[in-house]
Amino acid sequence: MTMEFSISEYTEPGHYYTFDSKLPPGEFFEIRPNHMPHNSQPIVDDESGMCVGYSVVQAPGLWRIYDTEGVFVRLEEASLEAPLIDPTDIALLAFGAFRIFWAGRALLESGVKTAISVKLSAVTVSLLRGRLKMGLSACSLKMTEAAAKHMYESGRYVPLQIQEKAIRYGKRMADPRNVTGLYRYESDMYRLIENKSRKGSYYYKKYTLEVVVREKDWTIAHFLYK
């Protein structure tokens, strides 16, 4: 798949938008840091459909919390809504409530999903949200109307924060159509996807995310993943 958009999309004015996730329940996007914390599991914001940090079990009921760059944030102690399972079998997910998976990422990737819940403290939520706003904040990104329309499609939606991470850390290159002031950024991206043939099971799929940006006002003119 290649990017196809008209020159008029480049000249469109940019606008600020907010979007909720268009992904099916349980699915999310993730751009992984260069140095993943050992034995880490994703913490996911269901509202936006993206990984917002990572957890590592330190002891029963105690986790080390890291931001999306893999930087340690704080220790989190949580009371379970169900009996504690073996700490080596824990993955934490969701803003406000951790969904805990049996057997961690290895079995999650092979399609096993069983969960209990843990409360996530307001302090941790605030810290993780604050970390996402560092650098070029997703709140500073604009979109053309044409690009924004794709954000309402479940098959095209990518959280603005994920697109911002692609711009901040991805490979920058000239626009393939050589439009002055337009640049394309590429980054590896993962998506947790439900296995339609096996209800309740999920698997990771790796994509290349491409974002075309008008840098003079940080307006996204086009994006896709393949």
pTM (predicted TM-score): 0.77
Domains in the chain, number: 2
Segment 140-146 mean pLDDT? 92
184: Cβ contacts below 8 Å, ≥ 6 apart: 3, 172, 173, 174, 175, 176, 210, 211, 212, 213
Same domain, 115 and 148: no
On the question of pLDDT at 179 being above 70, the answer is yes
pLDDT the model gives residue 157: 96
Strands 202-214 and 182-194: antiparallel
Segment 131-149 mean pLDDT? 80
Same domain, 74 and 145: no
Query: Look-up: residue for tokens 């509202």?
Result: 47
Q: Do 166 and 225 form a contact (C-beta atoms < 8 A)? A: no
What's the pLDDT tens digit per position in 3-50?
Answer: 555 555 667 889 999 899 999 888 899 999 988 888 888 888 888 888
Domain boundary among 116, 132, 148: 132
CA distance 103 to 48: 25
Same domain, 119 and 41: yes
